[in-house]
Chain A
Amino acid sequence: MALRRAIISHIGWIACGLGLLLVIGPLLDIVGVVAFNGISAFSLELFTTTTNGTAGGLLNAIEGTLVISAGGMLIAVPIGVGAGIYLAEYGSNKLGNIIRFLSDVLTGTPSIVLGYFSYIVFVTTLGWDFSVLAAAITIAILIVPYLARITELALRQVPNTMREAGFALGASEPAVVFKIVLPGATSGVVTGALLALAISVGETAPLIYTAGWSNYLWNGKLTNAPIGYLTYVIWTFIDQPDARSHALAFAAAFLVMLVVLAINIGVRLIIRRTKLT
Chain B
Amino acid sequence: MKIRPFRLSLLGLSLFIPAALCAVVLFLIIYSGQAIVFNGLGFLSRITWNLGNLYSDPVTINGIQIPLGANYGILVFIIGTLASSLIAILIAVPLSVGAAIFLAEAVPELERSRPRWMPPIRPALSMLVELVAVVPSVVFGLWGVAVLVPFIGKYLAPSGSGYGLLAASIVLALMITPIIATTLLDSLMQIGIENRESAFALGATHFEVVSKVMLPMVRTTLIGGIVLALGRALGETMAVLMVSGGAINILPTSVFSPVSTIASFIVSQLDSAESDPTNMAVRSLAEIALVLFVITLAVNATAKLLTSGALSVHNHK
Listed by A's residue number, 30 A-B pairs whose Cβ atoms lie within 8 Å are: A13-B102, A16-B98, A17-B106, A19-B97, A23-B99, A26-B174, A29-B147, A30-B143, A34-B139, A82-B14, A103-B18, A104-B300, A109-B296, A111-B237, A112-B235, A116-B285, A117-B23, A148-B17, A173-B4, A205-B237, A235-B241, A235-B242, A249-B142, A250-B142, A256-B138, A261-B131, A261-B135, A264-B131, A264-B134, A272-B123
B139 touching A202, Cβ below 8 Å: yes
A116 touching B99, Cβ below 8 Å: no
- The distance from the CB of B46 to the nearest CB of chain A, in whole angstroms, is 21
A204 touching B289, Cβ below 8 Å: no
- Say whether B137 faces chain A, with CB atoms less than 8 Å apart: yes
- The distance from the CB of A47 to the nearest CB of chain B, in whole angstroms, is 20
Stretch of B54-62, B192-200, B263-271 lying at the A interface: B263-271
B127 touching A117, Cβ below 8 Å: no
A85 touching B10, Cβ below 8 Å: yes
Q: What is the CA–CA distance of A30 and B210 in the complex, to the nearest angstrom?
A: 32
B residues with a Cβ closer than 8 A to A are: 4, 6-7, 9-11, 13-18, 20-21, 23-24, 27-28, 31, 94-99, 101-103, 106, 123, 125, 127-132, 134-143, 145-147, 174, 177-178, 181, 205-208, 210-211, 231, 234-238, 241-242, 263, 266-267, 270, 282, 285-286, 289, 292-293, 296-297, 300, 304
B147 touching A205, Cβ below 8 Å: no
- Say whether A39 faces chain B, with CB atoms less than 8 Å apart: no
- Say whether A74 faces chain B, with CB atoms less than 8 Å apart: no
B134 touching A198, Cβ below 8 Å: yes
Chain A residues near B6 (CB-CB < 8 A): 172-174, 177
Q: What is the CA–CA distance of A17 and B107 in the complex, to the nearest angstrom?
A: 9
- The distance from the CB of B279 to the nearest CB of chain A, in whole angstroms, is 8
State the main secondary structure of chain B at its contact with A. helix
- The distance from the CB of B227 to the nearest CB of chain A, in whole angstroms, is 11
A113 touching B293, Cβ below 8 Å: yes
A105 touching B270, Cβ below 8 Å: no
- Against B, the Cβ 8 Å flags (1 = close, 0 = not) of A222-250 are 00000000010011001100000000011
- Against B, the Cβ 8 Å flags (1 = close, 0 = not) of A51-85 are 00000000000000000000000000011001101
- Say whether A24 faces chain B, with CB atoms less than 8 Å apart: yes
State the main secondary structure of chain A at its contact with B. helix
A23 touching B304, Cβ below 8 Å: no
